[in-house]
Structure 1
Amino acid sequence: MGGHMHEPGNRRSNGEAIQLRSVSRRYGSGHSTVTALDQVSLSFSQGTFTAVMGPSGSGKSTLLQCAAGLDRPTSGAVTVGGTELTRLNETELTLLRRERIGFVFQAFNLMPCLTAEQNVALPLRLAGRRPTRARVREVLEQVGLGGHARHRPTEMSGGQQQRVALARALITRPEVLFGDEPTGALDSQTSREVLKLLRSMVDSEEHTVVMVTHDPVAASYADRVVFLVDGGVNGELIGASADAIAARMTRLEAAPC
């Protein structure tokens, strides 16, 4: 399991895109309380690519949801580009997510009746803005789908559909792009193509990407891999190979509860 190895540090950081300070997330109450995140403090610098890994139930998705403003922490603070999410009401939070955050999930979540360009334009239309055809074509070109603007999802491969989902996430020029297993439904070759695309967006466009994954090869495209265990941070690796990441995950999964 070789994988891609990235040497970080070739870009100057412009500051913190996201900060989590002592973030906890608990569900339920009394004896049935489940602590999904336990006093997590993490920061993600602008123009970097971070992978988040951990055994099943370690809090990966909860971390992503709290960092992206999809879920509210029970305690602690989350700041995106200087705005503290925990101080916003639901309307303000919705606007912030719509205008400043992009999402790509394992399921492509495309509208089957719409063409690629219509799917990409959807976030702006939902926000009451009229997207220009030039901007829509620009992001489709960015993800290598300039010639597929009028194709519907059923006329595209899984990898092409995920690229449309990526273009849709980029149309608003988000400060941070969050991915929850974005290559989970793709074969290894197509997965590599999407990961190279994410990597190039960080390198050439200085996007900030935070990706939850279970795949050491996918994680090896990141500058940094953060490991979670039982809702807490359990170290990180910088510029690691897929083999080193896999070995770390094997140790974490084998550790006694």
Structure 2
Amino acid sequence: MEEAVRLEAVSKRYGSGRSAVTVLGPVDLCFTRGSFTAVMGPSGSGKSTLLQCAAGLDRPSAGRVVLDGTDISSLGETARTAHRRRATGFVFQAYNLLPSLTAEQNIALPLRLDGRRPARGEIRRALERVGLADRAGSRPGELSGGQQQRVAVARALVTRPAVLFADEPTGALDLATGRELLRDLRDLVETPGQQGLGTVVMVTHDPQVAAFADRVVFLADGLVAGELHRPAPEAVAARMAALGGARGRAVPEAARC
């Protein structure tokens, strides 16, 4: 199957010499188009670092990242940023909405940063997609946490990215709102023609959330420690519990698409 993202021997280190700390890798992983993958692991296992390197938000210390057909590891900062803006959407746990802008203006921001003027009705359709057509003029402080997260999702989708990356997208949401958001993401994978989106990569700590994905990849001590396909929440929870006795043991099969 066609790959949306491939990581080849990717690692991330901080510091230098004897004080250097490796927080990720080396990791080999790929994510195919039309897939929904959850990334799980204990605190400090490298989940967010993996997501940021895969999305081009951070540059690996070593290895190669191919994002939507382009080796972003070989690009300069300006070119990498431009490709990331076109190819990806990113949903942050903390929303990262600008408080002085309305929902409509926050959603339009990625297009404007890329030098594009939103087409007539484009932002309105994005708001309708996440059920907030009547809150276009509301600022973040006038919205609930769930509504702010939906604005963040609409903002991530408005550029019609090849890949949506989400870091703990339900972490600050109540159960009902979180499940509704996950169903939205599930729909976006299954009906990619509506937004040009076919791939979701999501970091989560919650087995119930991970079970919405087609595939769950586990990390431990910065290394791939196995994967499950279409698992029940109980199977995810059991694997997470088992990681305490198997940390750092990478499973080569997990690199396969």
- What TM-score do you get using the length of structure 1 for normalisation? 0.91
* Residue 178 (1) aligns with residue 146 (2): no
* Residue 131 (1) aligns with residue 122 (2): no
Q: Using the alignment, how far apart are the partners of 2:5 and 2:247 within structure 1?
A: 32
State the match for 1:237 in structure 2: 228
- Alpha-carbon distance, 1:127 to partner: 1.7
State the match for 2:212 in structure 1: 221
State the match for 1:69 in structure 2: 56
Q: What are the residue-to-residue correspondences of 1:91-240 with 2, within 5 Å? A: 91-205=78-192, 206-240=197-231
- Alpha-carbon distance, 1:253 to partner: 3.1
Q: Using the alignment, how far apart are the partners of 2:62 and 2:96 within structure 1?
A: 31
Count of equivalent residues = 244
- Alpha-carbon distance, 1:149 to partner: 1.4
- What TM-score do you get using the length of structure 2 for normalisation? 0.91
Tell me the alpha carbon deviations over residues 60-115 of structure 1, each in whole angstroms, 9 at most, x when there is no partner: 11111110111111211100111001110000011011111100011111122222
Identity over the aligned pairs, expressed in percent? Answer: 63
State the match for 2:255 in structure 1: none
Q: Using the alignment, how far apart are the partners of 2:160 and 2:8 within structure 1?
A: 26
Stretches of structure 2 lacking an aligned partner (at least 5 in a row): 249-257
State the match for 1:89 in structure 2: 76
Q: Using the alignment, how far apart are the partners of 2:205 and 2:168 within structure 1?
A: 7
User: Which amino acid in 2 is paired with 1:114?
Assistant: L
- Alpha-carbon distance, 1:255 to partner: 4.6
Conservation of the 8 A alpha-carbon contact between 2:221 and 2:247: no
Tell me the alpha carbon deviations over residues 192-247 of structure 1, each in whole angstroms, 9 at most, x when there is no partner: 11111111111112521101111111111110000001111111000001111011
TM superposition outliers: structure 1 runs of 4+ over 4 Å: 254-257
Aligned-partner SS, 1:179? strand
- Alpha-carbon distance, 1:133 to partner: 3.6
State the match for 1:49 in structure 2: 36
Aligned-partner SS, 2:235? helix
Q: Using the alignment, how far apart are the partners of 2:188 and 2:154 within structure 1?
A: 11
State the match for 2:253 in structure 1: none
- Alpha-carbon distance, 1:254 to partner: 5.0
State the match for 1:10 in structure 2: none
Tell me the alpha carbon deviations over residues 157-190 of structure 1, each in whole angstroms, 9 at most, x when there is no partner: 1111111100011111111111111111111111
Aligned-partner SS, 1:18? strand
- Alpha-carbon distance, 1:137 to partner: 1.0
User: Which amino acid in 1 is paired with 2:232?
Assistant: S
